[in-house]
Amino acid sequence: MTRRSVDTSVNLSAQLKNYSNLPDSRDIEDPESELDKGIDLKTIKVRKEFYLPDKKLIEAVDLAVALGRPLLLQGEPGCGKTRLAYAVAYTLGLPLQESYIKSTSRAQDLLYTYDAVKRLYDAQLPPEERDDVGNIKKYIKLGPLGKAIARAELGRRSVVLIDEIDKADLDFPNDLLWELDRLEFRVTEAPEMKFAVGENPELRPIIFVTHNEEKTLPTAFLRRCIFHYIEFPKSQETLQNILSTQNIRNQELSKRAIQIISKIRELDLTKRPGLSELLDWVGYLDAVNIPVEKLDELPKLGALIKDENDRKRIVEDHKRITESLSKA
């Protein structure tokens, strides 16, 4: 086994210090741009992702980039795993290739798809209407990871998001071991189509893999990743800062909502509300101008709680929750 080249061209810690000063939008290469030499790059306007990663998370990203390893992110649903890829892509001004995994997803789809049905249909057309069905390349479409590797061959870097990998079957991560390790692949149906990042560590795709712990990942896959667990923020000040980035006008409302959700999360619940639920709840209450004193009645609880037994538990403990808040 050979040691991987270390890429020191990106220091995200330094770049994120200036994140708040970045413009609200910027022109970034369109992820759907043609991957051919000599074609002018198309750009799209991307809006800034408001994201406040902590120091340990930034260090994990820097480590993953430096070693060219995927960053495997675990944590409660709604804690910001997916949005990290958006924030990093924006910070570095790189295109983001996204893959949202389903139960039917195949590992090969991340690299490419081959439209055999379209080729068969074209072959049955009259000769005067038929395209060159012998050119298999016409029926090959690169997937998110495949595009990122092909883009590296052209001297351009990408960010790749593989979201909720545990939705796929157990073979999915195992089928990606070679490609993630070597960052190269060949199209089986057209062997002359081969793509590889090569000896260019500064062009290696920056890969984020999110995992909701629904299934255990294979050891061989874990060995190829950098791991980080995103905790729900423990500091109320941190939560207040997060809400302030979402244009919540009523700061007293935010403060009280944070106190309430912190008490709710202390309960033994099947699904504790996370950042996503907090943002939805406070965003709605702020938009409809709910008075702060009404929060103790736990209005619109459906935005916070997604399990009926959890809802019943909170209703039963409602009095104790409000009493503990009044003493705080």
Asked whether 25 and 48 are in contact (CB, 8 A), the reply is: yes
Mention every residue, 6+ apart, whose C-beta is less than 8 A from residue 294. none
- Tens digit of each residue's pLDDT, the chain (328 residues): 567 789 888 888 888 777 878 899 999 999 998 887 767 789 999 999 888 888 899 999 999 999 999 999 998 777 889 999 999 999 999 999 999 999 999 999 999 999 888 888 877 788 767 777 778 888 899 999 999 999 999 999 999 999 999 999 888 999 999 999 999 999 999 999 999 998 889 999 999 999 987 788 999 999 999 999 998 888 888 888 888 877 788 889 999 999 999 989 988 898 889 888 999 999 999 999 999 989 888 899 999 999 999 999 998 887 777 777 766 5
Tell me the residue ranges of DSSP E strands in the chain: 25-29, 43-47, 71-75, 96-100, 112-114, 140-142, 159-163, 184-186, 194-196, 206-211, 226-230
Asked whether 325 and 296 are in contact (CB, 8 A), the reply is: yes
3-class DSSP state of 307: coil
The Cα–Cα gap between 178 and 184 comes to 8
Give the C-alpha distances (Å, rounded to integers) separating 293 from 108, 174, 222, 239, 257.
54, 53, 48, 20, 11
Mention every residue, 6+ apart, whose C-beta is less than 8 A from residue 74. 81, 210, 211, 212, 213, 227, 228, 229, 230
* Other Cβ atoms within 10 Å of 176 Cβ, number: 22
Mention every residue, 6+ apart, whose C-beta is less than 8 A from residue 186. 193, 194, 195
240 membership: H or E segment, kind and range: helix 236-244
Q: What pTM was computed for the model?
A: 0.89
Decide: residue 216, CB within 10 A, 0-12 exposed, 13-18 middle, 19+ buried: exposed
Q: Which residue has the tokens 């667990």?
A: 229
Query: How many C-alpha atoms does 145 have within 13 Å on its Cβ side?
Result: 30
Asked whether 94 and 65 are in contact (CB, 8 A), the reply is: no
User: Taking the mean position of all CA atoms in its chain, how far away is CA 307?
Assistant: 25
Asked whether 84 and 73 are in contact (CB, 8 A), the reply is: yes
314 membership: H or E segment, kind and range: helix 308-316
Decide: residue 98, CB within 10 A, 0-12 exposed, 13-18 middle, 19+ buried: middle
- List 98's β-bridge partners, or say none: 161
